[in-house]
A and B are shown apart, each in its own frame.
Chain A
Amino acid sequence: MALTGLEIYKLLPKKNCGECGPPTCLAFAMSLAAAKTTLDLCPYVSDEAKEALGAASAPPIKLIKIGSGDKTVELGDETVLFRHDKTFFHPTGIAFEVEDSLNDAELTQKLKEINELEFDRVGLHYEVDMVAVKQTADAAQFKAAVQKIEAGTKLSLVLITEDVASAEQALEACKGRNPLLYGATANNYSEMTELAKKYSVPLGVKAENIFALSDLVEKITALGYKELVLDSGARGTSQVLADLTEVRRAAIKKKYRPFGYPTVAFATAEDPMEEIMQAQVYLTKYASVVVLKTTAKHFVLPLLTWRQNLYTDPQKPIQVETKIYEVGNVTADSPVYLTTNFSLTYFSVEGEVEGSKVPSYIIPVDTDGTSVLTAWAAGKYSAEKIAEAINTIGIADKVNHREIILPGYVAVLSGKLEEKSGWKVIVGPREAAGIPAFAKSRYGA
């Protein structure tokens, strides 16, 4: 992101002395914008101008890491407001708040629930990221809780305290884990910043509103610390949504440095269902970390599914797992349909097969997520490749017959496919919409 001519011109001294080469500051600004000259040639340039030029070459949102080892969570470093413009790069970190007031048994139970929040679904693996320990009483109790949690989970940690002494003890208790220290406020920021520097951990910054947040970030960066995660202090869904949008927009569109950091949002609704919906809004609208309380699997799974979905690259076709799919109560006599592993293609076929009321198998051949005709044109859906897929996927063990249904548009493959696979190839309809009628006439549903 280069600076524009106007932005540079506003930073220049406007002396029009010509010592840089071009006759006017305006002309010099344009040479700079076109990268035809360097700022050092101006003897009167201010520190502000130098800073701005540095800012132009930095990414709009800084990359911040929380945690250590293979559980490190990367936050920030995003470049767009809408995923369809490019993609979102670093999935929102999901953190679970645990209060230090829990007794031993409760704490162990809570940690167990959080550690077990791993899911396998449609060939994908989902995990959660962090445990946020919240201080409710004195430093000793907080430290004890942090120690137990540090020992009881591999997940990254967030320390929620505004008390400097407590924070120091807690940081000592989880040395080497690189937790997020949350955080710095208008009242404690200089001590908290020193602490974050000393332990070199990322620092959460919390203010009353986005204006106060901007001031506070400027004070902290003036102290020489830039490992920050931002919180505008808002807690109602609509205000958080507005603030998160403003922060992201200012960072990307205006290169506004105080907001060039990842963000943290807290889901606050009492009812877990509402809390998850709140979390979903924050996750969708730019929050880098979402902190929630509910650890129930049936609430967390939809959130993780949505996160996975939102953070996929729109440029890459979405693929289904290559395996045998069973639609309805299949038997050894059920028909077998061939298709490709492009999501759109596969689900069109699956929907129509279901509609045909004939229990069936579907085999999506791996074509790198391309449609039937695209794959065929690119040589990824040849008789050899399909035959290989049929013979390695294990469908022969599931059915008594040796008949396979080919998409009608690639009927031309049928002879060769019979030869290569040893299966009898039936040419199905060209469109998946024709499957119910095809199945009815053939299998008498």
Chain B
Amino acid sequence: MIIIGERINGMFKDIGQAVREMDPKPLQEWAIKQQEAGANYLDINTGPNAEDQVVALKWMVQVVQEVSDLPLCLDCTNFDAIEAGLEICKKPALINSCPADRPKIERVFPMAVKHNAKIIGLTMDAKGIPKNAENRIALAMELVAAADEFGLPMEDLFIDPLILPVNVAQEHAPEVLEAIKQTKLLANPAPKTVLGLSNVSQKAPDRPLINRTFLAMAMACGLDAVIADANDDPLMATAATAEILLNQSVYCDSYVKVFKSK
């Protein structure tokens, strides 16, 4: 299970302020904190308040890489900013994200191949997010065909079937689970799957409970990666336990500890 730590995001007050003031401290503290908790990637998002996203994202990449060797997940809708970030990433980065739109595919896929980066592909297009699993999979297939066309290794494509908040879009959750299952049938080797997990519990009470329950369910359907709160200990313990129950990691009594140190 690949854990992508979500915390370095300008939507959070402390990070938003740090990006505005060019103060590296909060970013670096969260980088270390998430790494210690067992994150495998760090998501980097400037947030909506950044003056110039190219400058902001580049600066964020630099200051985070000063304190952490983890690969980064560049989370931005501005592809120029992502490209600027890719150029200074020390390790192969993850591009977050590319929808199944032809113009965007043609911009992002060649860039990823050039920089040896991986891509999170969203199962949505200009028409928005599909209701059912079938249409999500049709868009996933477009992304899979694009990976084949542009020469992106299939294991470097992460399909995100887009989970929506359970309090307002309840019928989407089972469709997302079905989409994760079917994604595995699209190609051999299969593309990976990823979720922006915290979306499932937006504005609902007891968010960690909803998050970790859905994580276990999604892992049973074949989820490979998750953008989530790496410092939510019960969530990490759930991921560790699900790996054991899916026979993905060899069992030992200290399996939670092993998971976090992997």
Task: List residues of A whose CB falls within 8 A of some B CB.
Answer: 2, 4-7, 9-10, 26-27, 29-30, 33-34, 253
Cβ of A33 and Cβ of B185 under 8 Å apart?
yes
Q: Is B187 at the interface (CB under 8 A from chain A)?
A: yes
How many residues of chain B get a CB closer than 8 Å to chain A's CBs? 14
A30: which B residues are within 8 A, CB to CB? 137-138, 141, 186
Of the residues B142, B154, B190, contact of A26 by C-beta under 8 Å: B142
Q: Is B254 at the interface (CB under 8 A from chain A)?
A: no
Q: Is B258 at the interface (CB under 8 A from chain A)?
A: no
CB B251 to nearest CB in A, in angstroms, measures 15
Cα separation A4 to B140 with both chains bound (whole Å): 13
Cβ of B148 and Cβ of A5 under 8 Å apart?
no
Cα separation A34 to B188 with both chains bound (whole Å): 14
- Nearest to A5 among chain B residues (CB) is B186
Cα separation A144 to B148 with both chains bound (whole Å): 58
Chain A binding site: helix, strand, loop or mixed by DSSP? helix
CB contacts under 8 Å to A, within B154-193, are 154, 182, 185-188, 190
Cα separation A29 to B141 with both chains bound (whole Å): 9
Q: A10-B148, A34-B182 are in contact. Are A4 and B187 (CB under 8 A)?
A: yes
- Nearest to A24 among chain B residues (CB) is B138
10 contacts between A and B (CB under 8 A): A5-B187, A6-B154, A6-B186, A6-B188, A26-B141, A26-B142, A27-B138, A29-B141, A30-B137, A253-B188
- Nearest to B142 among chain A residues (CB) is A26
Given contacts A7-B188, A9-B145, A27-B138, 14 further A-B contacts (CB under 8 A): A4-B187, A5-B141, A5-B144, A5-B185, A6-B186, A6-B187, A6-B188, A7-B187, A26-B138, A27-B141, A30-B138, A33-B185, A33-B186, A34-B182
Chain B binding site: helix, strand, loop or mixed by DSSP? helix
Question: Which 8 residue pairs across A and B have the least CB separation, nearest first?
Answer: A6-B187, A5-B186, A4-B187, A4-B188, A6-B144, A30-B141, A5-B141, A26-B141
Q: A26-B141, A27-B138, A29-B141 are in contact. Are A34 and B148 (CB under 8 A)?
A: no
Task: List residues of B whose CB falls within 8 A of some A CB.
Answer: 137-138, 141-142, 144-145, 148, 154, 182, 185-188, 190
CB B148 to nearest CB in A, in angstroms, measures 6
A2: which B residues are within 8 A, CB to CB? 185
Cα separation A9 to B145 with both chains bound (whole Å): 8
CB B254 to nearest CB in A, in angstroms, measures 23
A5: which B residues are within 8 A, CB to CB? 141, 144, 185-187
B188: which A residues are within 8 A, CB to CB? 4, 6-7, 253
B137: which A residues are within 8 A, CB to CB? 30
Cα separation A377 to B137 with both chains bound (whole Å): 47
Cα separation A336 to B145 with both chains bound (whole Å): 69
B154: which A residues are within 8 A, CB to CB? 6
- Nearest to B183 among chain A residues (CB) is A5
Cα separation A10 to B141 with both chains bound (whole Å): 12
B187: which A residues are within 8 A, CB to CB? 4-7
Cα separation A443 to B144 with both chains bound (whole Å): 73
Of the residues A9, A27, A34, contact of B185 by C-beta under 8 Å: A34
CB B188 to nearest CB in A, in angstroms, measures 5
Cα separation A34 to B183 with both chains bound (whole Å): 11
Cα separation A428 to B142 with both chains bound (whole Å): 68
Cα separation A9 to B140 with both chains bound (whole Å): 13
Cα separation A9 to B188 with both chains bound (whole Å): 13
- Nearest to B137 among chain A residues (CB) is A30
B148: which A residues are within 8 A, CB to CB? 6, 10
B185: which A residues are within 8 A, CB to CB? 2, 4-5, 33-34
Cα separation A112 to B185 with both chains bound (whole Å): 55
